[in-house]
Amino acid sequence: MPTEQAAFRTLNIGSTVPIMRSNPLPSWPSIAVSATATPYDAANSGGSQLGPTNKKLIEAVTANVEAAKKENPTVPVPVDLVTASASGFDPHISPAAADFQVPRVARERGMSEDALRQIVLAHSEGRQFGFLGEARVNVLELNLALDRDRPMQK
């Protein structure tokens, strides 16, 4: 059984197959918000279908921004931390979203922010073929590496 699938079953932190779940522990970086009615429900994969002027969407994003600002009040909140991807299961976040979470994760793990940024960089990917998509950080691989190389102090 691949390591990431075993980790998903035992720790419930994620999977490379589309059953990704947001990380509830402050010691792990998290992925984007789920668009499904039951969060991260693979049987209901898909976007919310709410347009940019929809009141429900505006309220949800506003609430997500306010919650994120409590974590890191002096830094602009990256859009991918407060909105859902098309499927709601993308295991990647932007480099800005990863960096936004560095102070919390470093504090929770008892490590320096610079050391954590080096680990984030090691799990970052550029544009595919140099021009497709955007730079991204694989949160599942990052979380597995953090638990392997920098486990939580008990």
- pLDDT of 154 > 70? The answer is no
Rounded (5°) CA angle 61-62-68: 85
pLDDT at 7: 42
- Cα separation, 116 vs 57, whole angstroms: 33
pTM of the model: 0.74
Q: Are 23 and 14 in contact (CB under 8 A)?
A: yes
Q: Which of 10-19, 32-41, 50-59 has the highest mean pLDDT?
A: 50-59
Instruction: Tell me the pLDDT tens digit for each residue of 37-95.
Output: 555 555 555 666 788 899 998 998 999 999 999 988 999 999 998 887 766 667 789 99
Strand partners for 128: 132
- Domain ranges within the chain, ordered by starting residue: 3-15+31-40+47-149
